C-alpha cells in the first residue's frame, strides 16, 4: 500500500512547503517498519479506514521526529510513573507509625485495612480515568489525576483518627490509579517509532518515586516519630508521618502545576480515532512547530481515505459519545481471536503481579525491622535508610530494561527473564540471617522488579490500538488493583510474622514469567496505531 502525501504553503502554515511550491512525496508503507503492523493488529478487528489513517499519522509523527515537545512530555508524563510508585509506598511507610494513644492509631490487627482502602481507591481510579481517557480525551485525565491526589493527600496529614486516614488514602489513591493508563497512552501516541524504547525507560521515574518517598520519610519519619524506647506514643511526639504527607502532597501539587507550565496537547491519534481529523491535523502542526520540523500530512489526505471507504462519519460531541459508549470499547479489546488471547493473558499477568508485588512492598519496612541482626529489630532510621538503598537500585534497572527491549529477545524475552529472577531473589531473601544480607537480596529484587514494571508498562499500551488504548491498559491496571486488594486481606487473616508472604510472592512472580511465553505479540520494531 502506498500513500501520496502532498502539502502546500496555503495549508495551516504547513512547515513542509518550500518556497510556496507544492511538496509531493510518496510513502510505500510496505517498505517501512509499519509493514509488520499487519501482524500486530489484524484487519478483522478494526476497519481498513482506521488502520490506513493510523498509519498515515504514524508516518507524520516519525517525520516530525523526537524533539522539544517529546522531551518535555517525557518529563511531565514521567511524573505519572513517579506518583504511581511513590504513593503506595507512602502508605506502607506511614502504617507502622500509626500508634498514637491520643491520635491516629490502627486497631489491633486492623492495620492492613489502610492498604485495603488504598487498593480500593486505586481500582476505582484505574477504571474511571482510563475509560474516560478513551471517551473525552487524554488531556483532562492527564491533569486531574494529580490534582485529586495532591488535595486529598495534603488533607490526610491532619487526619484525626484511623478511619479518616483510611478514607483519605482511598481518595488520593483514586487519583493515583489513573496515572499509568492515561500517561502511557498520551506519551506513546506522540513518540516516533524509533524512540518507543523510551516508554520502557520511563520506569526510571518509577524508581525515582520510590527513592523520593523513602528519602523524605527517612528525614521526617525517622526524626519526628516516637522513639523505640517509648512505651506509649503521643501525638505531639509523632508528627513525622503528618509532615511526610504534607510534603508529598506539596510535591504532587508542584507536579500538577508543571503540566500547565509545559502545555500538553491532546493526542492527534485520539482525535483521529474519534473521527475529528481536522483537530488531529491541527495538533500535528502544533507539535511540528514546537519541534521546528517539517510535516507533510494534510487534512486532504485523511479526507481522501474517507472518500475511499465511504462518507466520513459525523464527529460526535463528547456527550453523544458518552451516551453511545456502553461496552463498545471493552468489546473492542477482544475484537479478534489473537487480540482476545493477548488481552486476556496480559490482564491475567497484571493480576498475578498485582497480588505478588503488594505482598512484598506493603510490608517491606516491617519485614526489614523484624529481620535485623540475629532477629534484632532495627532502629527506625535504619529501617528507612535500608528502604532508600533498595529504591536507588531500581534506577539502573530502568536503563537495562530500555536496552534489552531493543535486543533480539525483545519485550517478551526481557519480561520473562526479569520476572523469573525477581522470584528467585525473593526466595533467596528468606535465607538471610543478617540485616545486611537481607538488604542485599532485596536490592536484587528491586533491580529486576524495576525491569519488570518498565517492560510491562511499555508492552501493554503498545499492543492496543489508539481507539481502545486507555480502556485496554485500564482493564489490565484494574485487575492488577483487584488482586492487590487481596494482599492486605491475607495480612489480616494470615500469620505475617513468618516468611510466608515472601514465598507466595516469589512463586507468583515466576508464574507470571511463564505466562509471558504465551503472549502472541512482540511489538519490537513495530509502530503502535
Q: Measure Cα distances from 9 to 19, 22, 504 in Å.
A: 8, 7, 63
- Confidence (pLDDT) at 509: 94
Q: How confident is the model at residue 353, as a pLDDT?
A: 93
Q: How far apart are CA 404 and CA 399, in angstroms?
A: 9
Q: Which of 92, 136, 141, 138 is nearest to 114 (CA)?
A: 92
Homologous superfamily, domain 68-264+332-516 = MFS general substrate transporter like domains (1.20.1250.20)
Residue whose C-alpha is closest to residue 366's, from 390, 354, 384, 391: 384
336 CB burial (10 A radius; 0-12, 13-18, 19+): middle
Extract the C-alpha cell encoding 168: 483519605
User: Under 8 Å CB-to-CB from 130, ≥6 apart: which residues?
Assistant: 141, 178, 181, 182, 470, 471, 473, 474, 475, 477, 478
pLDDT in tens, the chain (529 residues): 444 444 433 344 444 443 333 344 444 433 333 333 444 555 545 677 878 888 888 889 999 999 999 999 999 999 999 999 899 989 988 988 888 888 888 787 777 789 889 989 999 998 889 888 878 788 888 889 999 999 999 999 999 999 999 999 999 999 999 898 889 889 988 999 888 888 888 888 988 998 899 889 888 988 888 876 777 888 888 899 999 999 999 999 999 999 888 889 998 988 988 888 999 999 999 999 999 998 888 898 988 888 887 754 444 444 445 445 556 778 888 878 888 899 999 999 999 998 888 777 656 555 656 655 534 667 767 777 887 888 888 889 988 998 998 888 989 999 999 999 999 988 887 777 777 887 888 899 889 988 998 899 889 988 888 778 888 888 998 898 888 888 777 766 766 566 677 778 889 999 999 999 999 888 876 666 6
Interhelix angle 203-220/394-404, rounded to 10 degrees, is 180
Nearest to 369 by CA among 497, 492, 260, 476: 497
Number of residues written out for the chain: 529
> How many angstroms separate the first and last alpha carbons of the chain?
16
Q: Cα separation of 46 and 465, whole Å?
A: 9
pLDDT for position 497: 60
Cα–Cα dist 241/96, whole Å: 10
In angstroms, the Cα distances linking 461 to 259, 343, 458, 529 are 21, 11, 6, 10
Q: Hey, how many other C-beta atoms are within 10 angstroms of the C-beta on 504? A: 18
Contact 230, 236 (CB under 8 A): no
Cα–Cα distance for residue pair 400/491, rounded to 1 Å: 33
The domain limits of the chain are 2-64+277-314, 68-264+332-516
Report the alpha-carbon distance of residue 168 to residue 243 in Å, rounded. 16
Q: What is the CA radius of gyration of the chain?
A: 24
Cell 483532562 sits at which residue? 140
CA 111/CA 375 separation, integer angstroms: 22
> Which residue intervals of 177-227 are DSSP H helices?
179-188, 197-201, 203-220
pTM here is 0.79
What is the rounded distance in angstroms from the CA atom of residue 363 to the CA atom of residue 96?
A: 9
Place of cell 524506647: 229
Q: What's the farthest any 2 CA atoms get from each other in the chain?
A: 83
114 touches 106 (CB < 8 A): yes
CB neighbours of residue 122 within 10 Å: 31
User: Among 136, 165, 162, 133, which Cα is nearest to 152's?
Assistant: 165
DSSP 8-state code for residue 21: B
Query: What confidence score (pLDDT) does residue 312 get?
Result: 46
Amino acid at each position: 500500500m502506498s500513500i501520496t502525501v502532498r502539502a502546500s504553503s496555503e495549508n495551516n502554515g504547513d512547515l513542509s512547503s518550500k518556497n510556496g511550491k507544492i511538496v509531493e512525496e510518496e510513502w510505500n508503507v510496505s517498505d517501512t517498519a509499519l509493514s509488520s503492523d499487519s501482524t500486530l493488529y489484524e484487519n478483522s478487528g478494526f476497519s481498513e479506514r482506521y488502520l490506513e489513517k493510523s498509519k498515515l499519522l504514524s508516518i507524520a509523527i516519525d517525520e516530525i521526529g523526537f524533539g522539544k515537545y517529546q522531551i518535555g512530555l517525557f518529563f511531565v508524563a514521567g511524573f505519572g510513573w513517579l506518583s504511581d510508585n511513590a504513593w503506595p509506598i507512602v502508605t506502607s511507610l506511614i502504617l507502622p507509625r500509626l500508634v498514637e494513644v491520643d491520635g491516629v492509631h490502627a486497631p489491633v490487627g486492623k492495620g492492613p485495612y489502610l492498604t485495603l482502602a488504598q487498593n480500593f481507591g486505586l481500582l476505582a481510579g484505574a477504571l474511571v480515568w482510563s475509560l474516560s481517557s478513551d471517551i473525552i480525551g487524554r488531556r483532562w485525565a492527564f491533569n486531574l489525576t494529580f490534582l485529586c491526589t495532591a488535595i486529598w493527600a495534603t488533607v490526610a496529614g491532619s487526619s484525626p483518627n484511623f478511619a479518616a486516614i483510611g478514607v483519605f488514602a482511598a481518595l488520593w489513591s483514586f487519583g493515583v490509579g489513573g496515572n499509568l493508563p492515561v500517561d502511557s497512552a498520551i506519551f506513546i501516541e506522540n513518540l516516533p517509532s524509533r524512540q518507543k524504547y523510551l516508554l520502557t525507560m520511563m520506569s526510571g521515574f518509577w524508581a525515582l518515586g520510590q527513592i523520593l518517598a523513602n528519602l523524605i520519610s527517612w528525614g521526617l519519619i525517622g526524626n519526628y516519630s516516637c522513639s523505640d524506647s517509648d512505651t506509649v506514643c503521643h501525638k505531639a511526639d509523632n508528627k513525622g508521618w503528618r509532615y511526610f504527607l504534607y510534603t508529598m502532597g506539596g510535591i504532587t501539587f508542584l507536579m500538577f502545576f508543571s503540566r500547565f507550565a509545559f502545555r500538553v496537547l491532546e493526542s492527534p491519534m485520539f482525535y483521529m480515532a474519534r473521527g475529528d481529523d481536522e483537530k488531529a491535523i491541527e495538533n500535528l502542526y502544533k507539535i511540528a512547530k514546537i519541534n521546528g520540523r517539517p510535516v507533510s500530512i494534510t487534512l486532504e489526505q485523511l479526507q481522501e481515505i474517507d472518500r475511499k471507504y465511504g462518507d466520513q462519519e459525523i464527529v460526535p460531541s463528547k456527550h453523544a459519545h458518552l451516551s453511545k459508549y456502553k461496552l463498545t470499547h471493552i468489546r473492542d479489546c477482544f475484537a479478534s481471536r489473537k487480540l482476545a488471547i493477548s488481552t486476556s493473558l496480559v490482564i491475567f499477568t497484571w493480576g498475578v503481579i498485582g497480588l505478588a508485588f503488594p505482598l512484598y512492598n506493603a510490608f517491606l519496612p516491617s519485614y526489614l525491622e523484624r529481620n535485623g541482626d540475629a532477629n534484632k529489630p532495627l532502629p527506625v532510621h535504619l529501617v528507612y535508610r535500608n528502604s532508600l538503598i533498595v529504591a536507588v537500585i531500581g534506577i539502573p534497572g530502568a536503563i537495562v530494561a530500555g536496552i534489552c527491549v531493543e535486543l533480539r529477545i525483545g519485550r517478551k524475552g526481557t519480561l520473562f527473564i526479569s520476572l523469573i529472577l525477581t522470584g528467585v531473589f525473593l526466595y533467596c531473601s528468606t535465607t538471610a540471617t543478617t540485616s545486611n544480607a537481607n538488604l542485599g537480596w532485596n536490592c536484587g529484587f528491586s533491580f529486576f522488579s524495576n525491569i519488570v514494571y518498565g517492560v510491562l508498562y511499555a508492552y501493554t499500551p503498545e499492543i492496543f490500538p489508539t481507539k481502545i488504548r486507555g480502556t485496554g491498559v485500564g482493564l489490565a491496571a484494574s485487575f492488577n488493583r483487584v488482586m492487590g486488594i487481596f494482599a492486605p486481606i491475607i495480612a489480616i487473616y494470615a500469620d505475617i510474622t513468618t516468611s510466608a508472604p515472601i514465598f507466595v510472592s516469589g512463586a507468583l512472580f515466576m508464574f507470571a514469567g511463564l505466562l509471558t511465553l504465551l503472549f502472541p505479540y512482540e511489538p519490537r520494531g513495530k509502530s503502535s496505531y
